[in-house]
């Protein structure tokens, strides 16, 4: 996280002290770095330069409108999984013609919305979805561009909750069923078979499973071509991991190295079997673009020394950052102001009424009540997974640009939370 460093013993986001941010905006608060966000996106864009390729940001990782706007202005497309996410893209000024619509349960209304705005493609995940989309498109007098999300049965070797490419997962069409499913799609009058897609999982530190999945897709594309079904694009999804600070034996594969291997494999294949004819390549990165752009800033409320455990009780909780409770995820926790006093071992926990409400376990910290902590690498799957459990308002969100701080989402208050509710009269 090169944009979050200590200056005179105080952690800064770019040129702004996190202590000053907490003083002005309160806690808990998500703080993002604009420079880091754009640098992460550019690592993909630069590797794709000169090629027919599109980087569609997987916005489920972080869907703040300001984040989407910055990426849209950089040329990003978007991978969405709901109609609401499409409306966010539109509100942020994104181009619907660069939108890929993924997800296993698209409703009729969501299909209508996407067709109305002329999205690039639907990633279809089942035969029933093919028929529903064909019927919806026919009722609107439109033709829907589709790719099939193929499940290549490749083990991503990641947490089971974020593995999506095995036979046991709910996602995609089974590899062995893909040919028949493409044949069925090609016969439907209001569908245009445009591409192929896969996404095998998330937080992958090694690109070998991704390259294995690519080889399986290549095999299928050639089989389809032999039957006269020619695809215009190849969508490899996302999944590249980032460094949360706990990987002792391995580091995330650099984006440029991974994309270089992908393009080398594709170029060799196209030269050998297709006379050098190119194919459009689409990527759907999420975490690797926003994960290390942000921290969750929180304040220590109490230090509670127990018989078996010491607890550092902070004002952030599992409703603000669900990853530790949901995935047992390890996330680095550092004091905003460095201290010289001796450290003790604490579980960092929140005030939510659940034993599962923890942010970090067994951490050596030199802290006392009133101190600030920064949960690092919190830009992905923090705010988008946040809830209002215990009637807790969700955190504020800020973007730092050099020495400027922009409030891009105000903190919720209790009145916001029950504004949509009503009493029985």
Q: Return d(Cα 12, Cα 374) in angstroms, integer.
A: 10
C-alpha dihedral sign at 259, 262, 264, 270: negative
Which of 368, 384, 263 lies closest to 314 in space, CA to CA? 368
Q: Return d(Cα 398, Cα 66) in angstroms, integer.
A: 9
Binding residues: 239, 284-287, 323, 327, 354, 381
Binding residues for substrate: 287, 323, 327, 354, 381
- Is 198 known to be catalytic? no
The span from the first CA to the last CA of the chain, in angstroms, equals: 54
Choose, from 121, 198, 312, 353, the residue flagged as catalytic. Answer: 353
**What are the E-state strand segments in 212-340?**
233-235, 280-283, 294-305, 310-314, 333-335
CB count within 10 Å of CB 349 equals 25
Burial of 122 per CB tally in 10 Å (0-12, 13-18, 19+): buried
Binding residues for pyridoxal 5'-phosphate: 239, 284-287, 381
Q: Return d(Cα 348, Cα 302) in angstroms, integer.
A: 10
Which of 239, 207, 247, 238 lies closest to 329 in space, CA to CA? 247
Q: Return d(Cα 1, Cα 6) in angstroms, integer.
A: 11
Buried b (16+ CB within 10 A) or exposed e, 254-284: ebeebbebbeeebeebeeeeeeeeebebbbb
Maximal CA-CA distance, the chain: 74
148, containing H or E segment = strand 144-151
Q: Return d(Cα 39, Cα 136) in angstroms, integer.
A: 40
H-only helix segments in 48-123:
65-73, 83-91, 108-116
Residues serving a catalytic function are 353
């Amino acid at each position: 996280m090169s944009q979050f460093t200590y200056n005179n013993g105080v952690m800064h986001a770019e040129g702004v002290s996190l202590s000053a941010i907490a003083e002005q905006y309160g806690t808990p608060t998500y703080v993002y770095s604009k420079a880091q966000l754009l640098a992460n996106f550019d690592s993909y864009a630069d590797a794709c330069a000169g090629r027919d390729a599109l980087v569609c940001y997987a916005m489920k990782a972080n869907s703040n409108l300001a984040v989407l706007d910055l990426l849209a202005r950089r040329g990003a497309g978007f991978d969405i999984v709901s109609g609401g996410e499409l409306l966010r893209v539109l509100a942020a000024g994104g181009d619907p013609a660069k939108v890929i619509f993924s997800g296993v349960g698209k409703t009729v209304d969501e299909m209508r919305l996407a067709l109305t705005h002329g999205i690039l493609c639907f990633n279809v995940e089942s035969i029933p979805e093919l028929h529903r989309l064909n019927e919806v498109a026919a009722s609107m007098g439109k033709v829907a561009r589709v790719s099939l999300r193929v499940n290549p049965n490749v083990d991503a070797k990641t947490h089971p909750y974020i593995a999506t490419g095995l036979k046991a997962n709910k996602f995609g069409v089974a590899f062995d069923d893909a040919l028949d499913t493409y044949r069925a799609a090609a016969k439907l009058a209001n569908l245009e078979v445009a591409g192929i897609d896969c996404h095998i999982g998330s937080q992958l530190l090694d690109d070998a499973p991704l390259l294995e999945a690519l080889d399986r897709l290549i095999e299928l594309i050639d089989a389809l071509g032999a039957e006269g079904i020619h695809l215009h694009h190849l969508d490899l999804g996302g999944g590249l991991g980032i460094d949360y600070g706990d990987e002792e034996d391995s580091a995330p594969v650099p984006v440029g190295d991974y994309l270089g291997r992908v393009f080398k494999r594709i170029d060799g294949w196209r030269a050998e079997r297709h006379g050098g004819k190119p194919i459009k390549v689409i990527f759907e990165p999420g975490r690797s673009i926003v994960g290390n752009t942000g921290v969750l800033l929180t304040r220590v409320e109490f230090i509670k020394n127990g018989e078996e455990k010491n607890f550092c009780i902070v004002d952030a909780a599992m409703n603000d950052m669900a990853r530790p409770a949901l995935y047992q995820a390890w996330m680095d926790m550092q004091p905003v102001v460095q201290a010289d006093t001796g450290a003790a071992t604490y579980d960092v926990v929140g005030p939510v009424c659940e034993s599962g409400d923890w942010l970090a376990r067994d951490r050596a910290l030199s802290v006392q009540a009133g101190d600030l902590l920064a949960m690092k690498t919190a830009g992905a799957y923090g705010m988008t997974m946040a809830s209002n459990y215990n009637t807790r308002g969700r955190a504020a969100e800020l973007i730092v640009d050099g020495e400027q701080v922009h409030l891009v989402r105000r903190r919720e208050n209790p009145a916001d939370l029950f504004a949509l509710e009503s009493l029985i009269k």
